[in-house]
Every structure is written in structure tokens, then in C-alpha cells.
Amino acid sequence: MLEKRRIEAAILKNVYDVLVERLGKEEAQEVIGAAVIQSAVEQGAEFRRRQEGSADLAAFTALSAQWSSGGAMEATPLRATAEHLDYDVTHCAYAEMYRDMGLAEIGHLLSCNRDQTFIQGFNPDIKLTVTQTIMQGADSCDFRYRMTDQKED
């Protein structure tokens, strides 16, 4: 997955540079962000269509292992129940890759945006809250998934 994101980012870097030149940085970031969100929701829906059985947190947990493969991310698990999936990402090779490519200023649009919206396509009853990311300078990312039809503990 890391290599796939590298290829996508290499293409989007050129698109972003042209958009900045023509529209300015703010509008360019809005366009890139909107495109990534649309793609992520569509990909989440595609994963749901291919999912055998329920598209619940357990299924999502199994599916999400691909984003960590090859050491792309390291995380500390905090809670994994039928209603909650909580973990902190302590190492993110995606953030390092975007920095190395000169894309640090839009890395959050290319990657973190995807995290926030993929789940909408996979199962809109699962909500993700992230209050900090490595991509934007924090020491860790705090991923908190929850089923919306469940009470919070």
C-alpha cells in the first residue's frame, strides 16, 4: 500500500503544483483534498461490496492490516471490542514518504483525509475520531473508531 500511495503522490504532486500556480495554494489544497475524499469513500464502498459477511469493526480490523504491512505503520492497540477500535500510531512511513517527496504540506490531504473518509464508504455506522496526527507534527496519531448505534463507555 505504501508503494501505491507513493505512485499516486508522484502524480498528484504535479497536479498540485499546477493547481497552486493557477488557483493559489488554498484552492489547490481544497481540490486535492476533495479528490482524495471522493476516492477514499469510493474505495471504502468497494471494499464493503467485496466483504463477505458483516462490514463491522472486526471486518474492518482485518482489512486495515494492509495499511501497516511492510512496516508502513506501527501502532499501540488500546481497545478492540465489537463497539470500539482504539489505537495510537507511533510510526508512520507514509508521513516520512510525503516529507521525502516534498509533499509535507499536503501529506495530511493525501493520507489522513483518506483515513477519515474511507470508513464512510465501508460502513457509515462506524465513526472515526482523530485529534492529532504525525503527519501534522504530533508524536502519534490517535485513531478512535466506534459504532454509532452503540453507547459510549
Q: What is the pLDDT of residues 2-41, one digit of tens each?
A: 899 999 999 999 999 999 999 999 999 999 999 999 999 9
pLDDT of residue 23: 97
pLDDT in tens, 38-70: 999 999 999 999 988 889 999 998 888 888 888
In a domain, 152, yes or no: no
3-class secondary structure, 131: coil
**Single-letter code of the amino acid located at 149:** D
- CATH code of the domain in which 31 resides: 3.30.1380
* Residue 132 structural domain: 2-147
Q: Is the pLDDT of residue 94 over 60?
A: yes
* Cell 489544497, residue located: 29
In a domain, 41, yes or no: yes
In a domain, 142, yes or no: yes
In a domain, 138, yes or no: yes
Dihedral in degrees, nearest 10, Cα atoms 102, 105, 106, 111: 90
For residues 68 and 86, what is the distance between their CA atoms, to the nearest angstrom?
15
In a domain, 153, yes or no: no
Domain count, the chain: 1
